Amino acid sequence: MNKKSKVLALKYRPKIFEELIGQKVASDTIINSIKAGKIPNAYLFTGIRGVGKTTIARIVAKSLNCLNGIEKLCEKNLCMNCESISKSSHMDVLELNGADKTSINDIRDLIEFSKYGPTSSKYKIFIIDEVHQISSSAFNALLKILEEPPNYLKFILATTEIKKVPVTIISRCQRFDLSRVKSEDLFQFIKKVKDKENGNVSDEALKLIVKISEGSVRDALSLLDRGLLSLKKNKELDLSEAQKIFGYFDKSQLIEMFNLVLKGDEKKVLEIYRKIFDQGIDPKVFLNDFLELIYYFKNINSLTLESTNFSLNDEEFNRIKKISNSIDNKVLILFWQFTIKTIEELEVVFNQNLSIEMYLIRLIYLSPLKQRIDIENDQTKLSLEKDLNYTSKNDVIDQIKNITQEKKNKPESDTNIKAENRVIDSFKNLLDICNEKKEIKLKYELEKNVNLVNFERNRIEISFNENLDKSFVKELSSKLYEWTGERWIISFSKEMGQISVKQRADDNKKKLINDIKKTKLYNNFIKKFPDANLNDVILDEEDEDR
């Protein structure tokens, strides 16, 4: 293949250790071990795609078999061994793909082939890429030869999923965890490549490429290649054009959307999202970028612009810092949990776009809720973390919002309610009115599923059990307004509070039955009627209240 026609990822593939980017520790260790003659039986390289696992495997193979030795490793004028290894055609260096050679029979053939020494070099080397994909029985077949191979045989294994490789295999290898390439190093590298290719690309566009590639050199080169090919003659690939080419939206749009979510501007939030969606953004990518933004809002005061790895420019960084000062951290934590849950939801919904829009609307309603509750009551704030568990108590969110925002937004239905201006000064008084008004369902919830913590004028503090009806708070607040003509704050407490009215009545009844059974009258009755038993007693209203 003509060198000019090669894709950039192949054209600029490192050929010696010095050309490797971001893997200096691994390179120095391997070079020192070869120079000292302490070469392991097997190397194991692990890391994300595009950080150099296969590349470094080939460089190690060349280092072991180069006719000039490790001190003068071929760079330009390649020796016979280095040239054939570079072309993957060396008789003694066999490259295998774990996805193709998965069975035990493939590994047995490999072991059988290893019995024969090298033909034209010092070492016979087996490079197995994506080794995690071979079968369990194949791994077992490898164990013995990995531990005690012939002196001329070396293994080099590479994988993106180290957790799938048995520990027994890992323990027989010298392991190197190749890290993601740092953003600054990757930026400088692709900038040099751009200059060599005479590409007209702005630094901001290069930084976007670095951001999208997530530390993968191969991804960065592939994106740069794509960008250069899309350029018209004498035209610069700037940030705006790069965003169109790579389907990436401007981070400032997301920051503006986040700000509008906090302000509760539903219309503008959806307008911005639909513009982003029209740019071709994938819903999962959008949510992951939203998660990243939440992280920055939460931790911006402990970060520097450089530590954001080109995710933010100066203007975006300063804007996040300014907005973050007015946001409660607990709101951001709630947003984070909610976003994670929505990512999971995308797996089961048909129209992911509609799901994202509903997600944003729900965030709008969560945001003012939290800020309002923090002002109203510390105990309510604490209970929100406990009770608004998304998987089981998400319906309570809407209930509390109705209460905490009533002073700002008076429900339309209130204009049709004629207040009775009654005084409700105790929990018992409330139950009596429920009974009088034949609000049986509400009375049932108050008696059975509510534990009173505190009752005072226009304020009720309670805890509740899991059986409480989801519309309870809304119904109770509406009735209280109807009966008293005043707004009531209904807050949830982390305290257990008093036992429920129903439980107290049951306990009183059990105690009364036990007391009766201890009386002389009852014992005399049982003597005459031994099959009899006292199962229940009927209490008058005064007894029930005690």
Structural domains of the chain sorted by starting position, each given as residue range(s) with its CATH number in brackets: 3-177 (3.40.50.300), 183-246 (1.10.8.60), 251-376 (1.20.272.10), 501-545 (no CATH)
Phi, psi angles (nearest 5°) of residue 264: 80, 20
Distance, in Å, from the CA atom of 83 to the CA atom of 85, rounded to the nearest integer, reads 5
For 446-465, what is each residue's pLDDT tens digit?
A: 888 888 888 888 888 888 88
Nearest to 7 by CA among 168, 160, 161, 228: 228
Q: How confident is the model at residue 249 (pLDDT cuts 50, 70, 90)?
A: low
pTM: 0.57
**Can you read off the two tokens belonging to residue 376?**
């109203």
> Looking at residue 29, what is its pLDDT?
93
For the cut 50, the answer to whether the pLDDT of residue 296 exceeds it is: yes
Q: How confident is the model at residue 531 (pLDDT cuts 50, 70, 90)?
A: confident
Nearest to 481 by CA among 402, 397, 418: 418
Long-range pairs, 309-315, Cβ under 8 A, ≥24:
309/182, 309/183, 309/210, 309/211, 310/183, 310/187, 310/207, 310/208, 310/210, 310/211, 311/211, 311/251, 312/251, 313/204, 313/251, 315/252
> Looking at residue 28, what is its pLDDT?
93
- Checking DSSP bridges between strand 450-456 and strand 174-177, what pairing results, if any? unpaired
Question: Which of 98-107, 284-293, 354-363 is least confident?
Answer: 98-107
Distance, in Å, from the CA atom of 321 to the CA atom of 297, rounded to the nearest integer, reads 7
> Looking at residue 372, what is its pLDDT?
41
DSSP H or E run through 449:
none
> For the residues 387-392, what does the mean pLDDT come to?
42
